[in-house]
């Protein structure tokens, strides 16, 4: 007697249903929070309190939904690019071509600050030149998918495209400069003594689609679990500024009348720790208050590319002099980028 076996449902069906639910939720959040804040809570849209509460609730749900979609899609794409495969692609490349490839790979295989040390050790010990490795470590946190999609959502494709191009140019240029300065002696000796073996099998290439989707879901949970405090802090600060802080307070220090505004923004951004999801709500509100876009994007670049925790982690593999030179070169590039944005926008 034959037994009837039920076939396992295709993972693409579940993905399609999840995508449909996401679209419905995303299109519903604005009218939902309008109803909650202005009708259920009885707050007025003309008051600072009503405006701030609505901004916080709407932006939080909107950005969380965007992050879920962005992280899932990029995690699935990243399942084709393991750290070992990325390292092997960069090994043996010459300066110039290698820096360009490293910058592009940094965009499509973004690593967080906690991955900076193993990525650095893996690349350098595998023979990837120092300048190319630093290009990757600059591009990976700064020109990532979250920043580009949120910039496109908040400010349009022109701003997102300018950020992408300038970020790639900055990462490539800084890597070329740092690579030509002969800074290898400021890398901790144990990095060069580390031996990284090569394997003929890359597990990223043998995964089934349901496994890749599972990786995407796990990545969404992991990243949101790590960044939610910074996300809420950034949106909360944006809500406060949106509702109560007067525009002239920021315009006085970072407005177009101050020729040193970009320098101030970069110096303020370097010691801070956040990510694109946490800092962009603040950038959005400050732009509405009249702060030039170039100044704000320079501030954002400094926060995400020169974060203090990443510098602390990299101290395990880099000597202080190299870290200081790195911050100076990248920081100067960010300042120049900010002034360029202010001139063309």
Q: What is the pLDDT of residues 10-63, one digit of tens each?
A: 778 888 888 899 889 988 998 999 999 888 888 887 787 887 888 888 878 887
pLDDT of residue 211: 81
pLDDT, tens digit (0-9, with 9 covering 90-100), for 253-299? 666 677 888 998 888 777 666 666 667 777 887 887 778 889 988 98
Which is higher by pLDDT, 84 or 40? 40
- Ranking 64-73, 94-103, 121-130, 146-155 by mean pLDDT, the lowest is 121-130
Could you tell me which residue, 122 or 279, shows the higher pLDDT? 279
Provide the 10 A C-beta neighbour count for residue 280: 27
Return the closest-CA partner of residue 225 out of 66, 22, 117, 67: 67
pLDDT at position 10 is 79
Mean pLDDT of the chain: 77
Residue 115 DSSP code: G
Q: Round to whole Å and give the CA distance between 302 and 276.
A: 11
State how far the Cα of 77 lies from the Cα of 215, in Å rounded to an integer: 10
Report helix, strand or coil for 157.
helix
- In total, the chain counts a number of residues equal to 345
pLDDT at 159 > cutoff 50: yes
At 197 the pLDDT is: 46
Are residues 54 and 33 in contact, defined by beta-carbon separation less than 8 angstroms? yes
pLDDT at residue 114 tops 60: no
pLDDT given at position 35? 92
Total Cβ atoms within 10 A of residue 10: 11
Residue (of 310, 298, 336, 267) closest to 134 by Cα position: 310
pLDDT at site 72? 82
Give pTM, 2 decimals.
0.65
Q: Which pLDDT does position 333 carry in this prediction? A: 92
Tell me the mean pLDDT in the region 310-339: 86
pLDDT at 144: 72
């Amino acid at each position: 007697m034959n037994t009837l076996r039920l076939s396992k449902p295709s993972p693409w069906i579940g993905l399609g249903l999840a995508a449909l639910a996401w679209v419905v939720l995303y299109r519903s959040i604005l009218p939902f929070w309008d109803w909650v804040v202005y009708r259920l809570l009885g707050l007025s849209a003309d008051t600072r309190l009503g405006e701030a509460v609505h901004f916080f609730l709407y932006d939080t749900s909107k950005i969380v939904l965007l992050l879920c979609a962005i992280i899932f899609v990029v995690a699935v794409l990243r399942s084709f690019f393991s750290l070992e495969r990325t390292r092997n692609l960069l090994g043996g490349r010459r300066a110039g071509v290698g820096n360009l490839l490293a910058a592009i790979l940094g965009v499509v295989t973004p690593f967080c600050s906690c991955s900076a040390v193993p990525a650095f050790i893996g690349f350098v010990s595998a023979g990837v030149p120092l300048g190319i490795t630093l290009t990757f470590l600059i591009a990976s946190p700064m020109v990532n998918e979250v920043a580009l999609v949120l910039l496109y959502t908040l400010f349009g494709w022109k701003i997102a495209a300018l950020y992408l191009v300038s970020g790639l140019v900055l990462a490539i240029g800084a890597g070329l400069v740092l690579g030509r300065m002969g800074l290898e002696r400021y890398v901790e000796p144990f990095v060069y003594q580390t031996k990284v073996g090569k394997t003929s099998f890359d597990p990223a290439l043998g995964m089934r689609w349901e496994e890749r989707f599972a990786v995407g879901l796990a990545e969404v949970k992991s990243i949101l679990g790590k960044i939610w405090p910074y996300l809420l802090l950034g949106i909360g600060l944006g809500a406060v500024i949106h509702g109560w802080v007067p525009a002239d307070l920021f315009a006085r220090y970072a407005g177009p009348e101050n020729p040193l505004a970009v320098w101030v923004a970069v110096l303020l951004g370097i010691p801070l720790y956040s990510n694109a999801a946490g800092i962009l709500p603040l950038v959005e509100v400050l732009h509405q208050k009249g702060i030039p876009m170039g100044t704000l994007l320079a501030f954002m670049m400094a926060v995400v590319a020169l974060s203090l925790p990443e510098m602390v982690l990299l101290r395990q593999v880099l000597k202080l002099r190299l870290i200081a030179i790195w911050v100076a070169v990248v920081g100067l590039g960010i300042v120049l980028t900010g002034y360029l944005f202010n001139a063309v926008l």
